[in-house]
Amino acid sequence: MTSRAADLLPPVRPRRAFQLSGLPVGALLAPLLLLGLWQLLCLSGVFPPQVLVPPSGVARTLEEMALSGELQRHLGDSMRRLLLGFAIGAAAGMAFGVTIALSRLAEAALSPLFLTLWQVPVIAFVPMMVMFLGIDEPFKLAVVAIAAFFPMALATFDGIRGVPKSWFEVAKVYRLSLFQLIRRILLPATVPAVLTGLRVSLTRAWVVLVAAELLAADSGLGQMMEMGRQLFQIDVVLAGVIVTGLVGFLLDRGARWVESHATRWRAA
Amino acid sequence: MSAHPHAREDKPPQSVQHGALSVRDLDKSFQIGGRPHKVLDGINLDVRPGEFVSIVGASGCGKSTLLRLIVGLDTDYSGELRLDGERIATTSLDRGIIFQDHRLFPWMTLEQNVELALLNTDTPKDRRAKIVADHIALVNLTGFEKAYPHQLSGGMAQRAAIARALVTEPRLLLLDEPLGALDALTRVHVQNELQRIWMAQRSTMVMVTHDVEEALYLGDRVIVMSPNPGRIRRIVDVDLPHPRDRRSPLLHRLKDEILAELTSGADADAADNLVHLPSREPR
Ligand SMILES: Nc1ncnc2c1ncn2[C@@H]1O[C@H](COP(=O)(O)OP(=O)(O)O)[C@@H](O)[C@H]1O
Ligand SMILES: [Mg+2]
């Protein structure tokens, strides 16, 4: 006869490390500090201004590129690739995860290969893919899809395998059909894991896409940076770095927001 | 596997005809380390329609296994299990079960959790909401229909599980230590409710508990089981009308008897098993 402390506590709202709306002032402290140091370093004259462009210069470049529409063009191309490639990769990953989670045979046959390939950095596939696909859109979509595929497959697999046996028993007691079991128990039970998988694979896909564009592309944020490097326009490179980071940050935040709102029923 | 929930509404609760459970020569073994390990040995038991039977026994003596066999979650046994003469081969909406953990689905509200049980009954769709509300009221949770399980206390969640199990009006309701995780006070409270619900519904109920007092307070009979392998050691009739008074001398006398019975073997074992820890030896 034990009394569980959890019974006596009021329900707690899901804990979130950061709020999307109303960013705490503290969150701005580190970036501002970094900008200050950067500006100071430029003023000190240790590096020539062509090598280390001051933040003000990068800001000016960003503004110019935004006004000319060049930034939007690159960003738009990257985002289009990201979303399309991600949709393909995540859907395939989800289907694959469901398959190996539900079929022991499929798991035995496919999971060793899957786990081996998973250890290979996606970028390592790039040279081979360039040979087969060239450097046009199919190549970039494939890179993004592969990057999204693995975390998604793994999260889906874990999500389904993590459904407690006791829930299957409840379904059996109430005579749920297979379709009812999937729709009412398995799907909602795996939603949290799948959403986490979507977030991880989305941000992973973004990083890999920009890296792939750096290596081989004719447009996109990565290519913008690579062109800047070749033309020794370090301000353009730094502008690309900042935009890449911001986009990644916002993708992560957006996905977290969806996650916490879709799983409001979860206790802390 | 036809269920007829709510078909009994027109009959007075006294005229219980359904829910006779018969267990004949039931044996059950598990394979442990490649060898069969007998968990239940020659269980014979008849439960009358509308009766409340409690089962007590040492942990590991096969009480949960017995309930899982009766409810149809495990069908690998020898012997015979029948409900109203019909052989038990799988789960059925005629047989409900409540586990120690409430097993409510965390993404469904209380209401949705209870309604899930009606999914495959022939209850008309337009009556379901009313029936769900009635059963939520029955366990005194009106007002919490839209609450998620994590917003309910342990006692409330267990009462919600009771509502879900009763909403199909099973002929037989099995309860596996349903109040085991509750604190002492909540427990007494839910015991009272369980008695009230049973008196109102008169489903046959078989409840496993490790609390002898609880077994006696609720049970028309108390089955005392012994372990290794699980056998019925004794069946105690509790000849008191419901609702009962916890202070009844009969209950206290029977409690002492059953406790003596349960601990007699254990004490002998404990003496044999006493391990002397060298570091704790008196100096
Ligand atoms: N799925 C299983 N596989 C193997 N052994 C089991 C399984 N379930 C229960 N047992 C064994 O059966 C015995 C009885 O278990 P159980 O019915 O849970 O006991 P009780 O509910 O009386 O505590 C225990 O020794 C337990 O280890
Ligand atoms: Mg048990």
Ligand 1 contact, B60 CB (< 6 A): yes
Examine the pLDDT at B271 and tell me if it is beyond 70: no
Residue B216 within any structural domain of the chain: yes
Nearest-angstrom CA–CA distance, B201 and B14? 9
Nearest-angstrom CA–CA distance, B141 and B128? 17
Reported as half-sphere exposure (CB side, CA atoms, 13 A), residue B142 has a value of: 8
Nearest-angstrom CA–CA distance, B113 and B109? 6
Residue B130 within any structural domain of the chain: yes
Probe target for ligand 1 pocket from B26, B27, B39, with the most ligand atoms within 8 Å of CB: B39
Domain that holds residue B153: 106-169
Distance from the alpha carbon of residue B201 to the mean position of ligand 2, in angstroms: 26
**Domain shared by B186 and B272, yes or no:** yes
Q: What is the mean pLDDT of residues B68-77?
A: 96
List B222's β-bridge partners, or say none.
Answer: B54, B236
**Domain shared by B193 and B272, yes or no:** yes
Give the per-residue pLDDT at A2.
40
ipTM: 0.86
Give the per-residue pLDDT at A3.
41
Rounded (to 5) percent helix, strand, coil in chain B: 35, 25, 40
Domain total in chain B: 2
**Domain shared by B258 and B195, yes or no:** yes
Last residue of a domain, one of B141, B169, B197: B169
Residue B2 within any structural domain of the chain: no
Higher pLDDT, B181 or B3: B181
**Domain shared by B225 and B137, yes or no:** no
Cα distances (angstroms) measured from residue B42 to each of A193, A258, B23, B78, B229: 46, 56, 9, 9, 9
Probe target for ligand 1 pocket from B54, B65, B175, with the most ligand atoms within 8 Å of CB: B65
Query: Residue B153 and residue A180: Cβ atoms within 8 Å?
Result: no
Mutation site for B-interface testing, chosen from A9, A12, A167, A175 by largest number of B Cβ within 10 Å: A175
* B245: DSSP letter: P
Residue B242 within any structural domain of the chain: yes
Nearest chain A alpha carbon to B70: A173
What's the CATH number where B211 sits?
3.40.50.300
**Domain shared by B22 and B83, yes or no:** yes
**Domain shared by B165 and B209, yes or no:** no
Residue B203 within any structural domain of the chain: yes
* B18: DSSP letter: S
Last residue of a domain, one of B139, B154, B169: B169
Range in B74-88, B135-149, B153-167, B257-271 the model is least confident about: B257-271
The B172-176 sheet, strands edge to edge: B95-98, B172-176, B204-208, B52-57, B221-226, B231-237
Nearest-angstrom CA–CA distance, B91 and B113? 19
Q: How would you class A237 by CB atoms within 10 Å of its CB: exposed for 0-12, middle for 13-18, buried for 19 or more?
A: buried
Token code pair at residue A104 = 């022991």
pLDDT digits (tens, 9 = 90+) for B20-65: 999 999 999 999 888 999 999 999 999 999 999 999 999 999 999 9
- Given pLDDT bands bounded at 50, 70 and 90, which one contains residue B272? low
Q: What is the mean pLDDT of residues B77-106?
A: 95
Nearest-angstrom CA–CA distance, B11 and A172? 30
Give the per-residue pLDDT at B252.
95
Q: What is the mean pLDDT of chain B?
A: 89
Give the per-residue pLDDT at A12.
46
Residue B42 is inside which H or E element, if any? strand B35-47
Give the per-residue pLDDT at B29.
96
- Given pLDDT bands bounded at 50, 70 and 90, which one contains residue B7? very low
Question: B208 and B171 in contact (C-beta within 8 Å)?
Answer: no
Higher pLDDT, B131 or A51: B131
pLDDT tens digits for chain A (268 residues)? 344 444 444 444 444 444 445 566 777 888 889 888 988 888 888 888 777 888 888 999 999 999 999 999 999 999 999 999 999 999 999 999 999 988 889 888 998 998 898 888 888 888 888 889 888 889 999 999 999 999 999 999 999 999 999 999 999 999 999 999 989 999 899 999 999 999 999 999 999 999 999 987 788 999 999 999 999 898 999 999 999 999 999 999 999 999 988 887 776 5
Q: What is the 3-state secondary structure (H, E, C) of chain A?
A: CCCCHHHHCCCCCCCCCCCCCCCCHHHHHHHHHHHHHHHHHHHHCCCCCCCCCCHHHHHHHHHHHHHHCHHHHHHHHHHHHHHHHHHHHHHHHHHHHHHHHHCHHHHHHHHHHHHHHHCCCHHHHHHHHHHHHCCCHHHHHHHHHHHHHHHHHHHHHHHHHCCCHHHHHHHHHCCCCHHHHHHHHHHHHHHHHHHHHHHHHHHHHHHHHHHHHHHCCCCCHHHHHHHHHHCCCHHHHHHHHHHHHHHHHHHHHHHHHHHHHHCCCCCC
Which of B93, B95, B106 is nearest residue A266 as measured by Cβ atoms?
Answer: B106
Residue at token pair 């406790």: B259
Residue B99 within any structural domain of the chain: no
**Domain shared by B198 and B147, yes or no:** no
Higher pLDDT, B259 or A123: B259
**Domain shared by B261 and B142, yes or no:** no
3-class DSSP state of B259? helix
Pairing of strands B204-208, B172-176: parallel
Last residue of a domain, one of B169, B186, B211: B169
Residues sharing a CB contact under 8 Å with residue B274, sequence separation 6 or more, in sequence order: none
Domains of chain A: 57-267 (1.10.3720.10)
**Domain shared by B216 and B226, yes or no:** yes
**Domain shared by B136 and B70, yes or no:** no
Q: What is the mean pLDDT of residues B181-193?
A: 88
Ligand 1 contact, B76 CB (< 6 A): no
Give the per-residue pLDDT at B8.
44
Interface residue B263 vs chain A (CB under 8 A): no
Pairing of strands B221-226, B231-237: antiparallel
Residues of A in contact with B73 (CB under 8 A): 169, 172-173
Nearest-angstrom CA–CA distance, B211 and B222? 11
**Domain shared by B125 and B78, yes or no:** no
Q: Supply the pTM of this predicted model.
A: 0.78
Q: What is the mean pLDDT of residues B85-114?
A: 95
Residues of A in contact with B183 (CB under 8 A): 1-4, 7
Residue B77 within any structural domain of the chain: yes
Residue B100 within any structural domain of the chain: no
CB atoms within 10 A of CB A179: 8
**Domain shared by B165 and B178, yes or no:** no
